[in-house]
Chain A
Amino acid sequence: MNRFIYYLIATHMITNIVANVPKILLDKNDKGAITSMILGVFVGLLMTYIVIRYFTNSPGKDLPELMKEYMSKWFYYPILFFFSIVWYTAGTITLVTYTFMLDLFLTPEMAILTMVMPFLVIVSLGVLMKTENILHSTEIMLVLFLPLGIFVFTKAYLSKGINWDYVKIAIMHINHLPNYSAFTGSFFMFFGVVNIIVFNKYFVKKLSFGFKHILLVGLLAITVLFTTYFLPIGLGGFDDIDKLLYPWISTTDSIRMKFGIIERLVFLFMLFFITISLSTIVIQWHIAAKLLEKVIYFKRLNWKKNNLTPYLFVIVFSICAGTLTKTVTDYQLFKLSISFYNILPVFFLILFLSMWAVKRGAKS
């Protein structure tokens, strides 16, 4: 199951190429976006290395299990609850952002609730799957749609619309100190690896993770961040790119396929991103539900031998996400995601502390 950890990392990165990260980075294009990205990559890789190395030592065990073994109830209940909220928020932000984006670019005349409904239905279906099957369905989605992704990205990079001079201008702004939001935004790209805290249950074989693998993840991250940041600049210019609401989609809409049945490349991009984002949202909500299950579990809520607690969670999740979609505006959502990314370091601090506590508990 070695390959699945890369799927977790890759799906999360690809999902965020179009969501809020480009907006945050481009917003800070003359205030240190590039240095923040570089810093983000280094810190992200370090975090990836620590997390994966930590979990390779206990193959087949997820973090809640380890915490239950080595930590007091009073500590790990609130921590798991907090983690669950973090994952739910991450998934929900992706979901709402994609809903807004699709409503804006794909079917503008559709009501926003109608837009979010299919997502909620299919994501709920996915969240209720067995954990192992989620990994496999992610694999199938990647195998089915990654060729399309590679095609559209190649097409985008080779398009005549890219003006590399703008990219050069952007690179000129390397001499700024990193910006905190831009840093957390690019750091969020590496969030996918933390999914291992639940999925490690299925990584039974000892993961080998050395320099080569770090390099692989690093290359992927650099490519993804480069695409996130420089592709819109190359296509849309440097100066006013921060004024766009969804800079990535707006700019790639300028690419045409002269001889294709689908002329505007952006629809292929959307097809690709909807697929990848769906698996990301499913993974994140699934983890949120799994973590929550450890804290709140209604033993009596049975119906025909099935415990209904996960179903209840999914309904609550869906209602919250639906309400959020209905109430927030694009700007509020953007602000919300920035503040979410900004508290991420706190989350990682707590994660590392609890990992350390488990290790200490295991030693003594």
Chain B
Amino acid sequence: MWKKPKEDPSPPDIFNELAEKLKPSTDIMQIPLSIEGRHAFLFYIKTVVDGEKIQNMILKPFFEMRSEEHFESYVNSSPDKVEMPDTEALLISLTKGFVLISIKGQLALLDLKKVNSDTVGETVMESTVHGPQLALSESLETSLNIIRQHYHDPALTVETIELSDKTHRSIAIVYNSNAVNKNVLNEVKKKIKQFDTPLIQSGGDLENLLTNKKYNLFPTTLLTERPDRIVYNLLGGKVAIFVDGSPNAILVPVVFFDYMEAMEDNYHTYWVSFFGTLLGYVGLFSCLLLPSIYVAVTSYTPEILRTELALTVSGSRIGVPYPSYIEILLMLIIMELLTEASIRLPKAISATATTVGGLILGTAATEASLASNIMIIVVAAVAISTFVIPINELSFSIRIIRLILIIFTSLFGLTGLILGFLGIIMHLCNKDSFGEPYLRLFRVGKIEEKKVRNG
């Protein structure tokens, strides 16, 4: 360095430049430190940095150290030090909670951010009896920490990408570099770089952007909050994508059966798991087919049932003033409204919704002859079995496809029901998730096949 000036040095030009750009925010801090001829300057945004860390890691050492050189090498060897980006990126870094230090005209950038959302919540969406009870965190680093702590393997790779949207969030792509499907990984990276939206706030947003088609009914990515599910899938070669600020991870590529797998299934004895899986599928089929079967059987082909049952069904419909498809659509829509209301309502009022809903979907509706008794049972069974599906993304899709199937059945009867169901299967077969087929049986053979084809 050249000759030291006698008077107190002024902060470097870049500080003023940055302050100019960040004006008139009041939480910008520009602090000169000086004691016995030693000088340093700090620049940070007060509301995003950890004050305690600044105190302990910068201020204290500064005043305790003997010379500026000591302090400089202290700062340079700090584990929180990051490489100095250009001015534009520097501004973004400052808004993320980085601290800019200038010692003897040299600039250093330290990551001292404070995240208040790094608590780890309990699992809400996919709760299990056995298995881990804690979910991910809303802070990206905490979530990554959880995954790393669940999965100790040097092959676990974490790549962080900053989104090019307006909020400059970080996204982490996590995969097992030995097992991962390279095509999928490249496609994911390509897609993420191509994003062109102003705001990505949650895993759900990102999920929609990752999907090719605009009008998509069945999910082709899996949103999960369970660390054990993520680790299980990483091991199987999937790619997990984390968004900062969202307590969920996205898993790609998925197959249909991933949605039908509760993590609980791995934690029980064979037959218990088998029974659990079976219940899941019974739930899937009943919530998809029951309403349509009701329409087909009451309005088109009552003779398909044994005589006693056919009589009971039609007997219970005595007094209902409209055809069965109106009855079922009415009741299903009320049920959907109720489900939707209990998701949206503040927890304090949700008891009201269920009580009122219970009245509508209960005896009152049958006494008013607006629906038959059996109809109420069907709707209740449908409502319950919808919640049996382990991943609720799938059950949301089933809710819609169910209505389409009801319309198809109302138009074409029992044939319509069967063909509509087969149509759904064909649609699922024809889907793909990041180039991987969506619905396939016997996948082991499939892998062999791929090997053969690739030479």
A136→B408 contact, CB < 8 A: no
CA–CA, A107 and B299, complex, Å? 10
CB distance from A101 to the nearest CB of B (A): 11
Q: Are B429 and A274 in contact (CB under 8 A)?
A: no
Q: How many residues from B make CB contacts under 8 Å with A? A: 35
Residue B306 is within 8 A (CB to CB) of chain A in the complex:
yes
Say which residue of A121, A267, A282 sits within 8 Å of B304 (CB atoms): A267
B204 is an interface residue with CB less than 8 A from chain A: no
Looking at A62-70, A124-132, A182-190, A243-251, the stretch in contact with chain B turns out to be A124-132
Known: A143-B441, A261-B309, A262-B304. A122 touches B426 (CB 8 A): yes
Residues of chain B within 8 A (CB-CB) of A275 are 418, 422
- Which of A114, A133, A205, A263 gathers most chain B CB within 10 Å? A133
Q: Are A263 and B307 in touch, CB under 8 angstroms?
A: yes
Shortest Cβ distance from residue A239 to the other chain B in the assembled complex, whole angstroms: 29
Residues in A with CB closer than 8 Å to B439 are: 136-137, 140
| A137 to B429 alpha-carbon distance, docked (Å) | 6
A5 to chain B, nearest CB (A): 14
Partner of B449, one of A137, A143, A144, A205: A205
A9 touches B (CB below 8 Å): no
Contact digits for A108-130, partner B, Cβ 8 Å, 1 yes 0 no: 00100011011101100110011
Q: How far is the CA of A1 from the CA of B423 in the complex (A)?
A: 23
Q: Are B415 and A137 in contact (CB under 8 A)?
A: no
Contact A118 B305 (CB under 8 A): no
Considering only residues 164-208 of chain A, those with a C-beta below 8 Å from chain B are: 204-205
- Shortest C-beta distance, A269 to chain B (Å), equals 12
Q: Give the Cβ gap from A219 to chain B, nearest Cβ, in Å.
A: 23
Tell me, yes or no, whether A264 is within 8 Å of chain B by CB: yes
Within 8 Å by CB of B306, from A115, A139, A204, A261, lies A261
| Docked complex Cα distance between A204 and B450 (Å) | 10
Asked whether, in the complex, the Cβ of A118 is within 8 Å of the Cβ of B420, the reply is yes
Taking a contact as CB atoms closer than 8 A, the residue among A114, A119, A140, A263 that contacts B419 in the complex is: A119
Does B415 contact A262, Cβ atoms closer than 8 Å?
no
Interface of A, secondary structure class, is: helix
Residues on the B chain within 8 Å of A351, using CB: none
Known: A121-B423, A139-B441, A141-B425. A114 touches B305 (CB 8 A): no
With A and B bound together, what is the CA distance between A271 and B411 in angstroms?
18
Task: Using A133-B437, A141-B422 as known contacts, say yes or no to A107 and B429 having CB atoms under 8 A apart.
Answer: no
- A308 neighbours in B (Cβ, 8 Å): none
Taking the nearest CB of chain A, how far is it from the CB of B454, in angstroms? 10
Partner of A136, one of B416, B419, B422, B440: B440
Determine if A264 and B408 form an interchain contact, defined as CB atoms under 8 angstroms apart.
no
Contact A140 B429 (CB under 8 A): yes
Is B414 part of the contact surface with A, judged by Cβ < 8 Å? yes
Which of B416, B429, B430 meets A118, CB within 8 Å? B416
Chain A neighbourhood of B453, CB < 8 A: 204
Tell whether B427 is near chain A: CB-to-CB under 8 Å.
yes
Complex partner residue of B420 from A107, A122, A130, A141, CB under 8 angstroms = A122
In this assembly, does A260 line the interface, its C-beta being within 8 Å of a C-beta of chain B? yes
Q: Does B300 contact A (CB under 8 A)?
A: yes
How distant is the Cα of A24 from the Cα of B299 in the complex, in angstroms?
Answer: 35
* Bound Cα distance from A115 to B416, whole angstroms: 9
CB A264 to nearest CB in B, in angstroms, measures: 7
How far, in Å, is A117 (CB) from chain B's closest CB?
6
B413 at the interface (CB under 8 A from A): yes
Chain A 267-324 interface residues, beta-carbon cutoff 8 Å to B: 267, 271, 274-275, 278, 282
Alpha-carbon separation in the docked complex, A106 to B437 (Å): 36
CA distance A121 to B411 in the complex (A): 12
Q: Which residues of chain B are near A264, meaning CB under 8 Å? A: 303-304
A39 proximal to B (CB < 8 A): no
A274 to B413, CA, bound (A): 13
Residue-wise interface mask of B (272-300) relative to A, using a CB-CB cutoff of 8 A (1 in contact, 0 not): 00000000000000000000000000001
- Least distance between B230 CB and chain A CB atoms (Å): 28
Is B301 at the interface (CB under 8 A from chain A)? yes
Query: At the interface, yes or no: A102 with Cβ under 8 Å from chain B?
Result: yes
**How many Å lie between the Cα of A196 and that of B441 in the bound state?**
21
A195-238 residues at the B interface, CB under 8 angstroms: 204-205
- Asked if A137 and B306 sit within 8 Å, CB to CB, the answer is no
Check if B218 is an interface residue, CB within 8 A of chain A. Answer: no
Any chain A CB within 8 A of the CB of B452?
yes
Closest B-chain residue to A206, C-beta based?
A: B452
B205 to chain A: closest CB distance in Å?
Answer: 25
Tell whether, in the assembled complex, residue A126 and residue B420 are in contact, meaning their CB atoms are under 8 Å apart.
no
B412 at the interface (CB under 8 A from A): yes
B422 touches A115 (CB 8 A): no
CA distance A129 to B441 in the complex (A): 17
Task: Determine the chain A residues whose CB is within 8 A of the CB of B445 once the complex forms.
Answer: 1, 3
A106 touches B306 (CB 8 A): no
Q: Which residues of B contact A118 (CB under 8 A)?
A: 408, 411-412, 415-416, 419-420
Min C-beta distance of A135 to chain B, whole Å: 9
Inter-subunit contact B413/A107 (CB<8 Å) = yes
Q: What's the least CB distance linking A61 to chain B, in Å?
A: 13
Q: Which residue from A134, A136, A204, A271 sits with its C-beta under 8 Å from B418? A: A271
Which chain A residues border B301 with CB–CB below 8 Å? Answer: 106-107, 267
A129-B426, A137-B426 known; A107+B415 contact, CB < 8 A:
yes
CB pairs A–B below 8 angstroms (21 shown): A102-B415, A107-B301, A107-B414, A115-B412, A118-B412, A118-B415, A118-B420, A121-B419, A121-B423, A125-B426, A126-B426, A129-B426, A129-B430, A136-B429, A137-B439, A139-B441, A139-B442, A141-B425, A205-B452, A262-B306, A274-B415
If A106-B415, A118-B420, A137-B430 are given as contacts, then 4 extra A-B residue pairs at C-beta distance below 8 Å, sorted by A number, are: A106-B414, A110-B300, A117-B411, A261-B305
> Which 9 residue pairs are nearest across A and B when measured between Cβ atoms?
A263-B306, A137-B429, A118-B412, A122-B423, A122-B419, A129-B430, A118-B416, A118-B419, A137-B426
